[in-house]
Amino acid sequence: MATKDNSDTAVIQGRVEDVQELRRSQPTVIPARYVRDGNERPSPALSPILPSMDVPVIDLSRLGSCSSKTPEHESEMAKLAAACEGWGFFQVINHGVEHELLEKMEKLAKEFFMLPLEEKEKYPMPPGGIQGYGHAFVFSEEQKLDWCNMFALGLVPAFVRKPELWPTNPPSFSETLEKYSNSIRLLCETLLGFIAESLGLRRSFFNEMFGEAVQAVRMNYYPPCSWPDLVLGLTPHSDGSALTVLQQDTASVGLQILKDGAWLPVHPITNALVVNVGDTLEVLTNGKYKSVEHRAVTNRESDRLSLVTFYAPSYEIELGPVPELVNDKACLYRRYNHGEYSRHYITNKLEGKKRLDFAQIQTSL
Ligand code: OGA
Ligand code: NI
């Protein structure tokens, strides 16, 4: 039964079925809540893909950490700017996060999802919540469901942490996650430095503005699905973050981005990380850098795992388009409190780029 709370958000009371368990029961038909309407169903993957149609790859070692403006630095910086402007997505190589750490985290996350349901349910995501094991963004019984199990944890600052949700099994999960998130956090700071530079701002611009940045991780496990053309692994959405860093296993393809009206797959590259511009960076850059809609599809035979880090400013700060980036152009977004935007994002279902309406300047006719 769906009920309404006073913020007018429908909170579902009933249980959402666990997708791994559903798969294990080998249903002969797919439950209606997973069957997408015709226009939402994944179309067959586009092929052949021209290399120029692939998400750009940025080599962080070419950007370097010192301030010397070598030709190598300049050309990679131009690639970074073009990726953020034209794609909203790129893959980063030589990113400084140890490959062993990436592999270990992926292995442990997979082990977690392979635990018996009772074990995973020791860390339940409450209805309408976003942390723990379960289904985020489910607010009504009419809503279509994603073919995915999720496990999400707030990491920093300390007040977003829910220690009771950090698993004790697999034994080294929590300790590894701590190392992993520290390392990804450094990468986010570095990337934000180069992104600021690519916009003609000083490198420390966003990192200073963000204050005590908020970081969270969501692990998405997509079991195989016998009807991959009827379901979605994850509903189309843009991320509410400033930056998102996604690690995907290399064994299967599932992430797709909306590019020029078509869904393009993001082919995994071994040891690369996928980075995308979130809504917050779109607002800060007054739409110059794009928060692009993306989704996940499932595969008939293979499962898929992604580890997704969301990096965003402190909830305390007020933000809007950076004046230097607006200049004489029309200002597309208003100023608002980032905490309010985050609340707005997590109390609504995923729905394309709709959440950004919150930041839109209302023009009266
Ligand atoms: C997300 C996301 C895509 C994927 O978690 O926000 O876009 O491939 N995930 O899991
Ligand atoms: Ni996303």
Does the pLDDT value for residue 50 go beyond 70? Answer: no
The alpha carbon of 66 and the centre of ligand 2 are apart by a number of angstroms equal to: 31
The alpha carbon of 239 and the centre of ligand 2 are apart by a number of angstroms equal to: 5
**Nearest in space to 255 (alpha carbons), one of 2, 5, 42:** 42
C-alpha distances out from residue 114 to 26, 80, 123, 145, 234, Å = 17, 37, 14, 21, 20
Ligand nearest the Cα of residue 234 is 1
- Give first-to-last CA distance, the chain, whole Å: 41
For residue range 64-117, list pLDDT tens digits in order. 866 668 999 999 999 999 999 999 999 999 999 999 999 999 999 999 999 999
How many angstroms separate the CA atoms of 139 and 12, rounded?
5
Output the pLDDT for position 47: 55
C-alpha distances out from residue 257 to 53, 275, 330, 363, Å = 11, 12, 27, 29
**CB distance 234 to ligand 1 below 6 Å:** yes
Instruction: Look up the CATH architecture of domain 55-358.
Output: Sandwich (2.60)
Ligand nearest the Cα of residue 220 is 1
Output the pLDDT for position 248: 97
With the most atoms of ligand 1 within 8 angstroms of its CB, the residue from 220, 257, 266, 309 to mutate is 220
57-70 mean pLDDT: 85
CA gyration radius, the chain: 20
How many angstroms separate the CA atoms of 281 and 23, rounded?
38
Angle between helices 173-198 and 99-114 (to 10 degrees): 130
Which is higher by pLDDT, 38 or 174? 174
The closest residue, in CA terms, to atom 1 on ligand 1 is 308
Ligand nearest the Cα of residue 149 is 1
Does the pLDDT value for residue 11 go beyond 70? Answer: no
222-247 mean pLDDT: 96
**CB distance 218 to ligand 1 below 6 Å:** yes
**Burial profile 9-46: b = 16 or more Cβ within 10 angstroms, e = fewer:** ebbbeeebebbbebbeeeeeeeeeebbbeeeeebeeee
The alpha carbon of 123 and the centre of ligand 1 are apart by a number of angstroms equal to: 21
Does the pLDDT value for residue 24 go beyond 50? Answer: yes
With the most atoms of ligand 1 within 8 angstroms of its CB, the residue from 255, 257, 263 to mutate is 255
With the most atoms of ligand 1 within 8 angstroms of its CB, the residue from 308, 349, 350, 353 to mutate is 308
How many angstroms separate the CA atoms of 219 and 108, rounded?
11
The alpha carbon of 255 and the centre of ligand 1 are apart by a number of angstroms equal to: 7
**CB distance 239 to ligand 1 below 6 Å:** yes
**8 Å CB contact between 320 and 336:** yes
139-145 mean pLDDT: 88
49-63 mean pLDDT: 85
How many angstroms separate the CA atoms of 117 and 323, rounded?
50
**CB distance 306 to ligand 1 below 6 Å:** yes
Does the pLDDT value for residue 276 go beyond 70? Answer: yes
Ligand nearest the Cα of residue 221 is 1
Output the pLDDT for position 6: 36
Domain coordinates in residue numbering, the chain: 55-358
**CB distance 125 to ligand 1 below 6 Å:** no
Does the pLDDT value for residue 49 go beyond 60? Answer: no
Output the pLDDT for position 38: 86
Average pLDDT, the chain: 91
Output the pLDDT for position 4: 37
For residue range 121-139, list pLDDT tens digits in order. 999 998 888 899 998 888 8
How many angstroms separate the CA atoms of 138 and 16, rounded?
8
Strands 57-59 and 89-93: parallel
Strands 318-319 and 255-259: unpaired
For residue range 98-110, list pLDDT tens digits in order. 999 999 999 999 9
The H or E element that residue 173 is part of is helix 173-198
Task: Please give the distance of CA 137 from its chain centroid, rounded to a whole number.
Answer: 13
